[in-house]
A and B are shown apart, each in its own frame.
Chain A
Amino acid sequence: MYPEHTHHIMEPLGNQHPTSLERRERPLDPGPRPPGPKEDEAGPRQPESGSPSRDNLLKRMRKVDPKQAERYRQRTGE
């Protein structure tokens, strides 16, 4: 699948006019993001195999409050 499939009919974002809604929607903070494919290597990437990393993912799992699901309540949606 298909980075070359993406058509760019519009101008690049930087060339567009600053507009009213752009002022209304807050700009997104880039923040920490999962490493996607590098931007010049868009497209599928095979996951690495193995078990969850002890240092990172297991640490994150241990931080989960054991009572979190018990306390979690929502109203019925659609």
Chain B
Amino acid sequence: MRLFGIETEYGIIREDQEQSDPVVESMELVRAYLSDKFEQTWDYQGEDPHKDQRGFRVKGLQQDVEEEQFATLDANRPFSFYEMKSDLVLSNGARFYNDHTHPEYSTPECSTLHELIAHDRAGERIIQHAANTRNATLGSPAVQLYKNNTDFHGHSYGCHDNYLISRTLPFDQLTDGLIPFLITRQLFSGAGKLGIEAQDSSYQPGVFQLSQRADFMETELSVDTMHNRPILNTRDEPHANRQKYRRLHLIVGDANMCEFATALKVGTTQLVLDLIAKNAAPQFKLADSVLAIKTISRDPDLKATIPLKSGKAIAGLEIQKAYLSAANRAFAGVNEDSDWILTNWETTLAQLEHNRAELIGRIDWVTKQWLLESFAQEERLEWTDPWLASLDLEYHNVNTERGLYLGLEQEGKAYRLCAEDEIRTAIQQGPTTTRASIRGLCVKKFRHEIQSVQWERIHLKSLTQPQQLDMSDLFDPAHITRLWQKIDNAKHLADVVSMS
């Protein structure tokens, strides 16, 4: 069984104001997706970002002080914390809300890469639709949204890829097998960035990097997500049966515009997790993984080597080739998804080495570098020219009339994995093979019967005794189909819940 999803925090600006209020703008943006008033349905019970997969609970997070300060300021606002968050559960099973002043779209749980790409793209369309509605109210296209991870002034926001894995996998085995892969995954999943920055620090222009997030990685393992960011986040919120499952919550990745890059990022990570579960992952002991992720990001020529504890050094591409080789031995011919990943992983590594132009429209950093180089040549600009940083930002604009990547796509220079009708379907309904389809159907058909929703449960309104639809162990596609049909045929959700 495979289950994964992507959470994307978008950057948001008001171009008609010198200084806009990010709390209000993000809240209004989310609410613009509704045609009537907001009703809180998200169930926050059980969410505990202090809980660590290593078996303890931390007293505080690095972000707590800053969060307290914002909470004090926000307490004077004419709306509550929950109204500010404006959590929506959509009819496709996704969550759309204001997360730390960033509109966030969390895809529904997906079981194939094809589903995931369709739902990631659906998120872009949904959030841009909300912006169009908001702009119609404002009377000008003032609100613009960016699917990126930095403001070029030391503030980063995330794109997290999530995977359901077995609780029986020892956490040390997971970290040992995964960290060298994550450090080098940016070779094909980096979104590209012009300049160097660090948390809350100034911006140094002129250097083109593979990754937007590498600058913000400060430690190897941590439960933190907003400060002291880790290469491998240890938050323990499985959103499933805690006795059986973990949710691997990766915050190290960039938000991708290229469908191909998203598919390869998640597909290769899933294969590496499968390798680790078989105890078949290659073993690399890096001398300093935080330094290594930055070294690789700042080397678009792909020549740099990173030191190992043994005293030797190795190139990032060589680490990736070792993982590919192990995955080929273990998973070639197992299923169609695995074969697609293996074939394209191999081709991509070879093209990065020998024929990078072939990756334009597939890999974001290669595409962005090509665009910026072309423009700098055309306009005779130095790499330190601020215009190029602005082009970097606009690469990620999800407005079809402005975004540079979307412009490239309109010219037919982007590799597409999903058809438009698949994206339209993904806007309306969750993947039929996962519990997201049940969640989506329930909120679509029985909203007035629902008290609250979490990823793994739905609470029903009840005058007598509390009732809930427990989905914490609902992963078998045949079971999901049967339950979906029951709910679709039911007059009341309570009828199905009381039977199950």
Residue positions of A touching B, CB distance < 8 A? 1-3, 5-10, 13, 17, 19-26, 28-29, 31-39, 41-53, 56-58, 60-78
| Inter-subunit contact B100/A78 (CB<8 Å) | yes
Closest CB-CB distance, A54 to chain B, in whole Å? 9
Contact status B419-A28, CB under 8 Å: no
Which A residues are in CB contact (< 8 Å) with B390? Answer: 64-70
A64 CA to B155 CA, complexed, in Å: 22
Q: Which residue of B lies closest to A59 (CB)?
A: B407
Partner of A34, one of B340, B406, B432: B406
Contact A66 B151 (CB under 8 A): no
B380-395 interface code vs A (CB 8 A; 1 in, 0 out):
0000011101111110
In the complex, B421 has a CB within 8 A of chain A: yes
Selected from A8, A60, A61, the residue in CB contact (under 8 A) with B432 is A8
Given the contacts A5-B112, A33-B400, A78-B158, A70 and B386 also touching, CB distance less than 8 Å? yes
Binding site secondary structure of chain A: loop
The interface-forming segment of B33-41, B321-329, B457-465 is B33-41
The answer to whether residues A74 and B340 also contact, given A10-B437, A68-B393 and a CB cut-off of 8 A, is no
- Does B286 touch A at the CB level, under 8 Å? no
Most buried by B among A23, A43, A44, A71: A44
Q: A10-B488, A36-B423, A68-B394 are in contact. List 18 more A-B contacts (CB 8 A).
A: A1-B263, A5-B114, A19-B444, A20-B448, A22-B91, A28-B126, A34-B414, A49-B357, A52-B375, A52-B408, A56-B407, A60-B404, A61-B391, A67-B390, A68-B393, A76-B227, A77-B156, A78-B99
A1–B417 touching, CB < 8 Å: yes
- B423: which A residues are within 8 A, CB to CB? 36
Residue pair B443, A21 in contact (C-beta under 8 Å): yes
Any chain A CB within 8 A of the CB of B153? yes
Question: Are B422's CB and A47's CB within 8 A?
Answer: no
CA distance A20 to B41 in the complex (A): 14
Q: List 15 A-B contacts (CB under 8 A).
A: A2-B337, A6-B114, A23-B35, A24-B35, A31-B132, A32-B400, A39-B420, A42-B418, A45-B415, A45-B416, A58-B375, A64-B404, A74-B12, A75-B101, A78-B100
Minimal Cβ-Cβ distance residue in B for A26: B35
B111: nearest residue on chain A (CB-CB)?
A7
- Residues of chain B touching chain A, judged by Cβ–Cβ distance below 8 Å, are 9, 11-13, 22, 33-36, 63, 66, 90-91, 99-102, 112-115, 125-126, 129, 132-133, 146, 151-153, 155-158, 160, 199-200, 225-227, 251, 263, 336-337, 340, 357, 360-362, 371, 374-375, 378-379, 385-387, 389-394, 400-402, 404, 406-425, 427-429, 432-433, 437, 443-445, 447-448, 481, 484, 488
Q: Considering residues B126, B428, B429, which has the most beta carbons from chain A within 10 angstroms of its beta carbon?
A: B428
Contact status A1-B91, CB under 8 Å: no
The answer to whether A78 touches B417 (Cβ under 8 A) is: no
Indicate if the CB atoms of A69 and B393 lie closer than 8 Å.
Answer: yes
A10 to chain B: closest CB distance in Å? 6
Contacts of B425 in A (CB 8 A): 13
Cα–Cα distance between A42 and B421 once the two chains are bound (Å): 9
Query: Are B417 and A29 touching (Cβ within 8 A)?
Result: no
Q: Please determine whether A24 and B447 come into contact, CB atoms closer than 8 angstroms.
A: yes
CA distance A5 to B112 in the complex (A): 9
Q: How far is the CA of A17 from the CA of B423 in the complex (A)?
A: 20
Q: Which residues of B lie under 8 Å from residue A66 when comparing CB positions?
A: 385-387, 390
Q: B407–A5 contact, CB under 8 A?
A: no
Specify which chain B residues have a CB less than 8 angstroms from the CB of A68 in the assembled complex: 390, 393-394
Inter-subunit contact A26/B386 (CB<8 Å):
no
Pick from A1, A7, A24, A56 the residue with the most CB of B within 10 Å.
A1
Cα A23 to Cα B443 in complex, Å, equals: 12
Contact of B391 with A75 in the complex, beta carbons under 8 Å: no
**Given contacts A7-B432, A13-B428, A44 and B391 within 8 Å (CB-CB):** no
B201 to chain A, nearest CB (A): 12
Q: Contact check, A56 vs B411: say whether CB atoms are below 8 A apart.
A: yes
Would A77 and B422 be within 8 Å (CB), given that A9-B484, A57-B407 are in contact? no
A55's closest neighbor in chain B, by CB?
B411
Q: How far is the CB of A27 from chain B (nearest CB, A)?
A: 9
**Cross-chain contact A31 with B400 (CB below 8 angstroms):** yes
Q: Which 4 A-B pairs have the closest CB atoms?
A: A77-B157, A47-B361, A42-B419, A66-B387
Q: How far is the CA of A76 from the CA of B425 in the complex (A)?
A: 33
Contact with B400, one of A6, A34, A70 (Cβ below 8 angstroms) = A34
